[in-house]
């Protein structure tokens, strides 16, 4: 079956377009919006305006880099949700209009399922069933993957996502948004000597809001004695915050792996780029006999190639976007990818 797909991702602050031939990535162009750094977080209005400015150029660049003409395309894919509604609308409307103009099908994709399916862009995808810890700025989930079109959420966060824990913790340290990559870098030279609490949440669920509060209290207490406490201890604070988040994440992955008797373990999403998490899961995996799958960095953070991977499986199964469908900021998870 011919499957040359242009995919578009615009759910948050990255405008991205990719061309996939089957599961082979021919191009994957990402334009990141630096503008939000100075506001300490993504400003939805600004994000949608930036998407409108960049989307045309990003799509053109993806076509050009892959040597693809519009008439070569068999389908157009885009993220339908979850995400920021204004941002989703830009990508969705662009994709729908182009699909209509070219008279090819439109494939709508769930952003979190696409993060998981980024693994199918690698040479050796995980054997099924496998567990995928999906950790991003908006989600934290342990997912059991039966096949690319059938997944089950075993646990998720009850409040903040793991990425938010990095970003909010970083904000308290005076780091600019997104703080995750900066904390990752600083933590490599720090000692995780500050102890922070682990939440006591049943089942396979997570909670990170208590960690943020505990971190705030720790900083307040220390700053009362030493106004330069953060500057003088920045690397150790980053290492401590990162270690706590990683330990909390992996405790539940170990539990899930035991309960479900699964030894194929993957991670996905922006936080999957974290060096501490990658090292820790590799070392735990080695001691527990897991086969661990780490996506390459470009496929961890938001990118259109992963949307193309999900679209490939839907195209193969003949599942397309209904003509009445709209982007949905809170698009619910469907166990079957439909």
List of residues contacting Zn ion (CB under 5 A): 136, 302
- When the beta carbons of 14 and 321 are compared against ligand KG4, the nearer one is 14
Tokens of 275: 């060096």
Tokens of 193: 């000597």
- State the binding partner of 86 from Zn ion, ligand KG4, none, CB within 5 to 8 A by kind: none
Determine, following the binding rule CB under 6 A, whether residue 270 of this chain makes contact with ligand KG4: yes
Residue sitting closest to Zn ion (CB): 136
Name the pairing type of β-strands 14-21 and 24-32: antiparallel
Task: Please name the residues in contact with 335: beta carbons below 8 A apart, sequence gap of 6 or more.
Answer: 150, 151, 152, 153
Determine, following the binding rule CB under 6 A, whether residue 301 of this chain makes contact with ligand KG4: yes
What number of chain residues touch ligand KG4 (CB under 6 A)? 19
Question: Cα(256)–Cα(259) distance, rounded to whole angstroms?
Answer: 5
Determine, following the binding rule CB under 6 A, whether residue 206 of this chain makes contact with ligand KG4: no
**Smallest distance from ligand KG4 to CB 195, Å:** 20
- When the beta carbons of 241 and 273 are compared against Zn ion, the nearer one is 273
Determine, following the binding rule CB under 6 A, whether residue 87 of this chain makes contact with ligand KG4: no
Per-residue mark of binding to ligand KG4, 231-260 (x: CB under 6 A): ------------------------------
Q: How far apart, in Å, are the Cα atoms of 107 and each of 21, 202, 316?
A: 15, 37, 11
Are the beta carbons of 163 and 181 closer than 8 angstroms? no
- When the beta carbons of 105 and 170 are compared against ligand KG4, the nearer one is 170
Helices (H), the chain: 44-66, 85-102, 111-117, 162-172, 180-187, 209-225, 229-260, 275-288, 304-317
Determine, following the binding rule CB under 6 A, whether residue 137 of this chain makes contact with ligand KG4: yes
Instruction: Name the one residue in this structure whose structure tokens are 């966060």.
Output: 157
Determine, following the binding rule CB under 6 A, whether residue 192 of this chain makes contact with ligand KG4: no
Question: Cα(71)–Cα(181) distance, rounded to whole angstroms?
Answer: 39
**Smallest distance from ligand KG4 to CB 138, Å:** 5
Residue numbers at the binding site for ligand KG4 (CB under 6 A): 12, 136-138, 163, 166-167, 178-181, 184, 269-271, 273-274, 301-302
């Amino acid at each position: 079956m011919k499957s040359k797909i242009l995919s578009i991702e615009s759910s948050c602050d990255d405008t991205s377009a990719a061309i996939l031939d089957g599961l082979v990535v021919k191009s994957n162009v990402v334009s990141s919006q630096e503008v939000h750094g100075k506001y300490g977080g993504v400003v939805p209005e600004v994000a949608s305006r930036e998407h409108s400015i960049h989307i045309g150029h990003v799509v053109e660049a993806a076509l050009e880099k892959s040597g693809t003409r519009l008439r070569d395309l068999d389908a157009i894919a885009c993220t339908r949700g979850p995400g920021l509604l204004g941002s989703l609308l830009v990508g969705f409307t662009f994709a729908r209009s182009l699909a209509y103009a070219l008279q090819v099908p439109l494939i709508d994709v769930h952003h979190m399922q696409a993060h998981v399916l980024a693994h199918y862009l690698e040479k050796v995808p995980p054997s099924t069933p496998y567990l995928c810890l999906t950790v991003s700025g908006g989600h934290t989930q342990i997912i059991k993957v039966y096949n690319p079109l059938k997944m089950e959420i075993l646990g998720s966060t009850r409040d903040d996502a793991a990425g938010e824990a990095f970003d909010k913790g970083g904000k308290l340290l005076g780091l600019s948004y997104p703080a995750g990559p900066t904390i990752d870098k600083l933590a490599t030279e720090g000692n995780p000597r500050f102890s922070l609490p682990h939440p006591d949440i049943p089942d396979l669920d997570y909670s990170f809001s208590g960690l943020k509060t505990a971190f705030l209290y720790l900083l307040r207490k220390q700053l009362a004695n030493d106004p330069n406490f953060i500057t003088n201890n920045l690397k150790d604070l980053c290492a401590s915050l990162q270690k706590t988040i990683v330990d909390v994440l992996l405790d539940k992955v170990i539990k899930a792996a035991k309960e479900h008797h699964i030894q194929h373990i993957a991670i996905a999403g922006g936080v999957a780029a974290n060096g501490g998490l990658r090292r820790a899961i590799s070392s735990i995996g080695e001691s527990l006999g897991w086969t661990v799958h780490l996506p390459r960095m470009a496929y961890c953070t938001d990118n259109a190639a992963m949307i193309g991977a999900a679209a490939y499986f839907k195209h193969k199964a003949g599942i397309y976007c209904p003509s009445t469908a709209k982007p949905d900021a809170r698009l619910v998870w469907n166990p079957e990818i439909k």
